[in-house]
Homo-oligomer: A and B are copies of this chain.
């Protein structure tokens, strides 16, 4: 079964509203083994809407439409459906009852404009709206299905989960395929390096799919495995995952929706360890990410954002001569900052960062993108040099990710390769 998603609305085309509806529908269809061929956005005009219907009917068995069902003049979806299927509107008594109940509950009068929403295409099955007034519709013709739903996310989601997916799953005649999608999350290694290490990718995947999805936080490896039964799919995935882990396992910090701050938080909790952080160039971002995790107060003790040298001396007890000698952005000062924040806070671990994130601040020997990250625990006290890019905000993200990854590596006893 092949599907297309059509989102109707000028506000989506002009970028004022993010198309979260298409993302939700894409996700729920994919989970239910229905391939999404394309997702199309068109504005609030009759011609492009009819054109989109026509094009979608060529290649697809299922067309899911959202938006344009409201009561005002700019809502055209229903008119377009009537034209496209050459049908007419009739009043649904069931929908009219729903609308009256909806307004009654809110102590509001039902206007003629509201009652007009009980009009539905004659050939359609009604999808009742439990959170609003505009009903959805399900139309079948020539073995193909067109579903129309309101653009309000809560109303659409409830229709998808409560009506559309159950009915499709029931009606689907094809043998249900088995599919697993799993992402392995890496950081600290470029996309091209992973690709080369994995060797012959077709041999590795044997017909399964893998996408490389890079961002400033690392590369997400998204694996899609299909098969005849769930055992086969699990075995295939397990084979692929093992191969990948054998080659780049040390860079993989989590899977699917994991975050690096969540992963290190769990490791700290399991080991009953506490951490304190001294930040310079990241300005609090690392601590902010750590404290995004609910319950992080159990292991995060404090953070010192030592932007000035004075703050480094006073709160981290760093010898001012060392700063003068090596410079605030140096491997020595990074190490001292990690040591200092651990000592003053009495935690098990201290982490630090100092660097030049741009656009200003570079010197002849110290370019924009140069960062030092320090790590101290009961046994070791160390620091590493990193080179990032030119963009200040992306560099903050990259530095925070590298610092959290350094913490992860040390908690798990994973050495850096170089």
Across-interface contacts of A346 in B (CB, < 8 A): 310
Across-interface contacts of A224 in B (CB, < 8 A): 10
Distance A294 CA – B283 CA, assembled complex (angstroms): 12
Q: Is the CB of B195 within 8 A of A113?
A: yes
Q: Is the CB of B48 within 8 A of A37?
A: yes
Interface check A392, CB cutoff 8 A: yes
Q: Is the CB of A12 within 8 A of B27?
A: no
Interface check A87, CB cutoff 8 A: no
Q: Is the CB of A302 within 8 A of B308?
A: yes
Number of interface residues of A (CB under 8 A): 118
Of A14, A196, A282, A296, most buried by chain B (CB within 10 Å of CB) is: A14
Among residues of B, the one whose C-beta sits closest to the C-beta of A212 is B72
Closest 3 CB pairs of A and B: A283-B291, A284-B284, A15-B27
Interface check A162, CB cutoff 8 A: no
Distance A304 CA – B304 CA, assembled complex (angstroms): 5
Among residues of B, the one whose C-beta sits closest to the C-beta of A369 is B105
Q: Is the CB of A22 within 8 A of B41?
A: yes
Q: Is the CB of B40 within 8 A of A105?
A: no
Q: Is the CB of A44 within 8 A of B211?
A: yes
Identify which of residues 345-359 in chain A touch chain B, using a CB-to-CB cut-off of 8 Å. 345-346, 358-359
Q: Is the CB of A195 within 8 A of B71?
A: yes
Given the known A-B contacts A284-B305, A315-B304, are A26 and B15 also in contact in the complex, defined by CB atoms under 8 Å?
A: yes
Per-residue contact bits, chain A 5-41, to B (CB 8 Å; 1 contact, 0 not): 0000111111111111011111110100000111111
Task: Report which of B74, B211, B311, B387 forms a contact with A16, defined as CB distance below 8 A.
Answer: B211
Given the known A-B contacts A11-B222, A20-B18, A23-B19, are A195 and B39 also in contact in the complex, defined by CB atoms under 8 Å?
A: no
Q: Is the CB of B294 within 8 A of A284?
A: no
Across-interface contacts of A215 in B (CB, < 8 A): 152
Q: List residues of A whose CB falls within 8 A of some B CB.
A: 9-20, 22-28, 30, 36-44, 48, 51-52, 55, 59, 70-74, 105-108, 111, 113-114, 130-131, 152, 154, 181, 183, 190-193, 195-196, 201-202, 209-216, 222, 224, 277, 279, 281-288, 290-292, 294-297, 300-308, 310-311, 314-315, 344-346, 358-361, 367, 369, 387-394, 396
Given the known A-B contacts A315-B302, A359-B294, A367-B105, are A24 and B18 also in contact in the complex, defined by CB atoms under 8 Å?
A: no
Q: Is the CB of A105 within 8 A of B387?
A: yes
Sample 30 A-B pairs with CB under 8 A, ordered by A number: A10-B211, A14-B27, A15-B22, A15-B24, A15-B26, A16-B183, A16-B211, A18-B20, A18-B23, A19-B22, A37-B48, A38-B40, A38-B43, A38-B48, A51-B59, A105-B367, A106-B389, A111-B192, A154-B391, A283-B284, A283-B287, A283-B290, A283-B292, A284-B285, A284-B287, A288-B396, A297-B307, A302-B311, A303-B303, A314-B344
